Chain A
Amino acid sequence: MNLRLIFFITAMLLTAAAAVTADDASISDAERLFSEGNSLYEAGEYGKAVEKYSLILKEGLASGELFYNLGNAYLKTGDLGRAALNYERAGIYMPGDSDLLSNRRFAAGLMKQQDMVEKRHMALRWLDMAMSSLTLKSSILLVSALYYLLISMIIVTKVFGVFRKRSTALIVIVFFAVMVLTFPVIHKIRDLESGAVVVAGVTDAVLEPVKDAPVNFPLFSGMKVFVLREKWGWTRIMRPDGKIGWVNSDAIRRITPVSI
């Protein structure tokens, strides 16, 4: 019985060690590819740099820095759509990175249609800006911590009647904070779930998902849109200004597909 147990534990430890070693190996491979990609980029071989960076993604690994460099390489090749797409993806990992923000602005300056007003209440846009430097994970942690604090305060002060002094005001403040901070989190999740970027050159959004349907509005490379639904190779999208139309699914790429 004891021997069996020892054998089982040894087997488990060996399996875990093998898994860790394999992970380490694939990470060191990825780091080598990243470094090769950087060298190619520095040499001006932007297309080849893109290939090297993409190999890391094919290995199932990703990081904000990788998407940022990939975005830069695409931008240097003139592929504004894929550059914007990879900057968006980098933003999931390191939304507050100053280099990323700067290059995003730079890429946005190259886009054709820059003066699009987002159809969203100004207060909500301010909130988004305030939380923009936090990743989704950090935002969820922050809101959850406040939510735990709120419930604890209610239990201690209202249910058991301890520390009642000024407790109502504090509870209201924390409740308000939880409610208000939930909006940017929902917005971030919506961005992740349905955000997409136009990667084709200039393309038209049409009124119906059929060939030769009347044109509704133009879309430009690098423009961010939201996917509403997909049907027969067509995708119903919404522009940030609220306009809705159908576009060929090949013209856009989701920011977070199931496998990046």
Chain B
Amino acid sequence: MDITRGNVPIIIILAAFVFFAMPAACAEEDIREHIFIEVEVPSEARVSEEVPVQVRFYTDWLDVEDLKVWDGPSDAYIAGDFVTGGTEMAVRGGTKYAVLLFSKKLVFPSAGDHDYGPVKASCVVTKPKAQLLNDNREFYDEYLGRRKSRGLAIESETYSIHVLQALQTEMPPEEEAVEPEEAVKEEGKKLPLEMIGIKISPGKLEAPDPFFYRSRILLYAELLPLIALLASVLVERRLRKLRGDTPYTRWLRASRAAEKDVKKARALMKRKDNKRFYEQVFRAMQRYLGVRFSVLPEGITEELVEARVAAALGNDDLTGAIKGIFHQCYLARYSPFKEGGEEMVNTLDELDSVLERLNSIKEI
């Protein structure tokens, strides 16, 4: 065959077969030499007599794990599980094998020719850790390759057992074939009486919602306490700070009070209520300084400003500005002439600026 472009796929498939499929098939063949089962079943039995079955599991010292032996259920016989019956040594064709024995007993309820089996076995062939010390290391390399283990299923052939009538037992009458519906009823009647009957009431019928726990509401409900915990920690920290840090607390209270007072003063200015505006500005200044210096607001006088405020601030310019506001208020409140709107704006701006400057000094 010439190698042409058309032949290339066929050659690749052949090569793949030779390299992959053939070794795999050979490996499967090989494993049967290393691991196999033999089943011993009598070819004749009697009804209701125990028929012994023995399964011999052969392995030539391969590392085998998770070994299980079982057979399929059948209406023809009753059987329990296989029980292990120890191990023994055997030599076959010059090869030594470890043999694991499994046995069980069958009981045939009716006479006739019955099939038994196949008996199945499954195990996992595992590469040993100390592979170099193992006689079968070449086998492991070929069969497992780079894998650590490989599952293996073994199946025996099906055996035919001729079952005779039991001794000293009369032939039961042939049962008539029953209709499927009847058979179902019979099946029900065969069940023992311990089964409890049906419920008379259908209970609360509702649309099934088995995955209700995936609901977002539930998720939020579970998150809520954590949010509450976090919020309470923050609140507690804040309260502790307010309790322990007096200058900070005074600064906070003063600035909040000033904010409100300035707002009131602005409203009075808009109403052009000259007298009350200046009273409000005066009160704002008094209250702010009273809170900051822990003095009753009514006790804030020009002298006190001179004595305590100037000393605490150390800023003559700011002290002067405070005194200036007090002066303006005095003048406006007790002067027979009414101040104009522009003066009120200027006074409010000045108050704003002084409060801002005082607020910027947190430690007094």
Q: Which residues of A pack against B, CB within 8 Å?
A: 27, 30-31, 34, 38, 41-42, 44, 46-47, 56, 60-66, 68-69, 72-73, 75-78, 92-94, 99, 102-103, 106, 110, 112, 136-137, 140, 144, 147-148, 151-152, 154-155, 159-160, 189, 192-193, 201-202, 207, 213-218, 256, 259-260
Contact = CB atoms under 8 A, between A and B. Distances in A.
Interface of B: 68, 70, 72-73, 120, 122, 151-153, 181, 184-185, 187-188, 191-192, 194-208, 210-213, 218, 221-222, 225-226, 228-229, 232-233, 236
B203 A63 contact: yes
Contacts of B195: 72, 75, 103, 106
Nearest to A70: B198
Contact of A27 (B153, B187, B205, B236): B205
A155 B207 contact: no
B122 A202 contact: no
Contacts of B229: 151, 154-155, 159
Given A63-B203, A72-B195, A160-B232, A189 B213 contact: yes
Nearest to B72: A202
B225 A65 contact: no
A260 B188 contact: no
Given A78-B187, A260-B208, A214 B203 contact: no
Contact of A72 (B120, B152, B198, B207): B198
Across the A-B interface, the 5 shortest Cβ-Cβ residue pairs: A151-B225, A76-B188, A65-B203, A78-B187, A63-B203
Contacts, number: 129
A27 B199 CA distance: 17
Nearest to B184: A77
Contact of A92 (B73, B152, B204, B210): B210
A223 B211 CA distance: 23
A214 B122 contact: yes
Residue with the greatest number of chain B CB neighbours at <10 A, chosen from A47, A73, A154, A214: A214
Given A99-B196, A112-B73, A155-B232, A260 B210 contact: yes
A76 B72 CA distance: 23
Residue with the greatest number of chain A CB neighbours at <10 A, chosen from B188, B201, B202, B232: B202
Contacts of B192: 106
Contacts of B211: 192-193, 256
Contacts of A137: 212
Contacts of A151: 225-226, 228-229
Contacts of A154: 229
B200 A38 contact: yes
A63 B206 contact: yes
Contact of A31 (B184, B196, B205, B210): B205
B153 A214 contact: yes
A171 to B, nearest CB: 12
Contact of A159 (B198, B199, B232): B232
B11 to A, nearest CB: 27
